[in-house]
Amino acid sequence: MNINHHPDDSTLLSYAAGSLPESFDVVVACHLQRCAHCHEKTFQAEAVAGQLLEALSNQAPSHSRAFRDDFFQKLEREPLPEPNTDLIDPRPETIPEAIHAILSGNSEDLPWKRLVPGMHSIALESSDGGLKLLRIAPGRNLPMHSHQGTELTLVLQGAFQDELGCFNPGDVADLNHEVEHQPITIGNEACICLVAMDAPLQFKGLVPKLLQPFIGF
Amino acid sequence: MSEAQVESVVEMDWNQCLEQIAITGDKRLFMKFYDHFSPRLHSWMLKLCADATLAEELCQEAFLQAWRKAASYEPRKASASTWLFTIARNLFIDAKRRHKVEQKHLHSLKSEDIQIEHFNLDSNTVKEAIAKLPHRQAQVIYQSYYLGHSHSEIAEIMGLPLGSIKSSIRLAFQKLCKDLDVTP
């Protein structure tokens, strides 16, 4: 798969640090499944964290002796490490079921909610409440808008185009409020995206602004 | 001579140590690993959680998981410290999602000006790499790694546009990779 648009390095560092809101975490995790380049960057950010950990001063907190004894007792009760433990990814992500369904071509069965003609969405569960699936019919466009916060969009199916270029499956648009754009779907199939946002969009023009409560972004 | 002094004279190879633990199941050796990393991991978790009980709980659980997963450790992929960090980070993420980590008091942090001393670093190489960063870049690195703040939270705390925060993190990341010899 040819991926041309990646999350910003700052997003990958925060992913590695564990400091992204959950919705952004899920979008990055889905992108990483297909992108060796970003996987490598994430490993690098984890390696920086490893060096920061190793370099920390070893001044033990005053109560550490009691905790050490407590830990040692727990360790004594542990069986030996399993020699055949599967080589698991150190960060198993919870990829929502709906995304598996879309990637296996079963997007029609999902509980899409119509926002305006040609535009459907599904709110996905996340602790910060910022994760959604968005489906836009072929040839449709979103109104011109900017962002109050950050937005991370991963294309799962179809494609869209905006002022920054063409986004195909696997591509990520990592945007903040400095970017104003008007995405339009390209090709003959609906474009389905996984979107994480930490603030509502800011639409330009009266009609889109009036429609915002219905669009729900 | 204290245990800490002995350790500093005879430097352990913690990657080899973990491999050895996986093969032999030596719990005494694992306690050496624990003694080396526990104060470090504990102070990191304390900053992240701002909750002493939770920090201790995550720390203890991270070491138990490290013991159980020792056989899946691959030194070619990551150093022992990186591997331990990823285990603890995943536990922190789980705790955050279960809302066990209290909401940060963003405004109380506004006045805090993070200096190199806040990093609490012993190693000269890493200390120098952090000290070389422009002040703002050191601040965003500290907040991302040690405090677990998102880009928007950092922007709010520092009173700067999101774009500036992202570019500061990006530039600091590039410099740290170069100075700490972290290569793809």
Torsion over CA: A72, A76, A80, A81 (sign): negative
Nearest to A162 by CA among A148, A138, A149, A145: A145
What residues of B are in contact with residue A10 (Cβ under 8 Å)?
151, 165-170, 173
- Residue B101, both tokens: 């980590």
Residue A183 vs residues A144, A191, A206, B141: alpha-carbon distances, Å: 8, 11, 18, 33
Model pLDDT for residues A12-53, shown as the tens digit of each residue: 999 999 999 999 999 999 999 899 999 999 999 999 999 999
Instruction: Test A8 with B180 for CB contact under 8 angstroms.
Output: no
Residue of A nearest to B70 (CA): A81
For residue A128, give both structure tokens. Answer: 């910060």
**Does residue A214 have a pLDDT over 60?**
no
Distance CA A40, CA A133 (A): 27
Q: Are A140 and A187 in contact (CB under 8 A)?
A: no
- Residue keyed to tokens 């050191």: B138
Tens digits of residue pLDDT in A143-153: 666 667 788 99
- Residue-wise pLDDT for A56-86, tens only, equals 987 756 557 888 999 999 999 999 887 655 5
| pLDDT higher than threshold 90 for residue A128 | no
The pLDDT tens digits of the residues spanning B141-183 come to 999 999 999 999 999 889 999 999 999 999 999 999 999 999 8
**Residue that wins the pLDDT comparison between A179 and A54:** A54
Q: Mean pLDDT in chain A?
A: 85
* Contacts with A175 from chain B: Cβ below 8 Å: none
Of A60, A70, A149, the CB nearest to B39: A60
Q: Which chain B residue has its CA at the smallest distance from A13's CA?
A: B173
Region of poorest pLDDT, from A203-212, B32-41, B147-156: A203-212
User: What does the pLDDT average to over A154-183?
Assistant: 88
pLDDT above 50 for A174: yes
| Averaged pLDDT score across all residues of chain B | 87
In this prediction, residue B114 carries a pLDDT of 80
Work out the average pLDDT over B94-103.
76
Q: Do B150 and A20 touch (CB under 8 A)?
A: yes
A22, A44, A58: residue with CB nearest B122: A58
Residue A5 has pLDDT above 90, yes or no: yes
Among the four given CATH numbers 1.10.1740.10, 3.40.30.10, 1.10.510.10, 2.40.110.10, the one describing domain B3-96: 1.10.1740.10
Band of pLDDT at residue B63, cut at 50, 70 and 90? very high
How much is the average pLDDT of B31-51? 92
Query: Is A214 part of the contact surface with chain B (CB cutoff 8 Å)?
Result: no
Tell me what pLDDT residue A155 has: 96
Q: How far separated are the first and last CA of chain B, in Å rounded?
A: 40
Torsions phi, psi for A158 (to 5 deg): 70, -160
- In angstroms, the separation between the Cα of residue B49 and the nearest Cα of chain A is 12
Chain B partners within 8 Å of A15 (Cβ): none
Name the class of domain B110-179: mainly alpha
Q: Assess A36–B contact: CB distance below 8 Å, yes or no.
A: no
Residues of chain A with C-beta less than 8 angstroms from the C-beta of B147: 19
Contact at CB, B69 and A199, closer than 8 angstroms = no
Query: Is 50 exceeded by the pLDDT of residue B6?
Result: no
Ordered by start, the domain boundaries in chain B are 3-96, 110-179
Closest Cα partner for B81 from B175, B180, B10, B2? B180
Please name the residues between 146 and 175 in chain A that touch chain B, using a CB distance below 8 Å: 149-150
Query: Is A89 in CB contact (< 8 Å) with chain B?
Result: no
The answer to whether the CB of B83 falls within 8 A of the CB of B57 is no
Mean pLDDT of A132-151: 81
**Per-residue model confidence as pLDDT tens digits over A97-112:** 899 899 888 888 899 9
Asked if B96 and B48 count as a contact pair (C-beta separation under 8 A), the reply is no
A50, A76, A198 member nearest B81 (Cβ): A50
How much is the pTM? Answer: 0.90
Q: How far is A103 from chain B (nearest CA, A)?
A: 25
- Average of per-residue pLDDT across A177-181: 72
Closest CA to A215 of A146, A119, A112: A119
Identify which of A8, A50, A68 has the shortest CB distance to residue B82. A50
The reply to whether B110-179 shares the fold of B3-96 is no
This complex has an ipTM of 0.92
Alpha-carbon gap, residue B155 to B168, rounded angstroms: 11
Any long-range contacts for B18-27 (C-beta under 8 Å, 24+ apart)? Answer: B18/B66, B18/B70, B18/B73, B18/B75, B18/B80, B18/B83, B19/B73, B19/B75, B21/A81, B21/B67, B21/B70, B22/A81, B22/A83, B22/B70, B22/B71, B22/B73, B25/A80, B25/A81, B27/A75, B27/A76
* pLDDT band of A192, cuts 50, 70, 90: very high
How far A60 CA sits from the closest chain B CA (Å)? Answer: 5
pLDDT for residue A203? 58
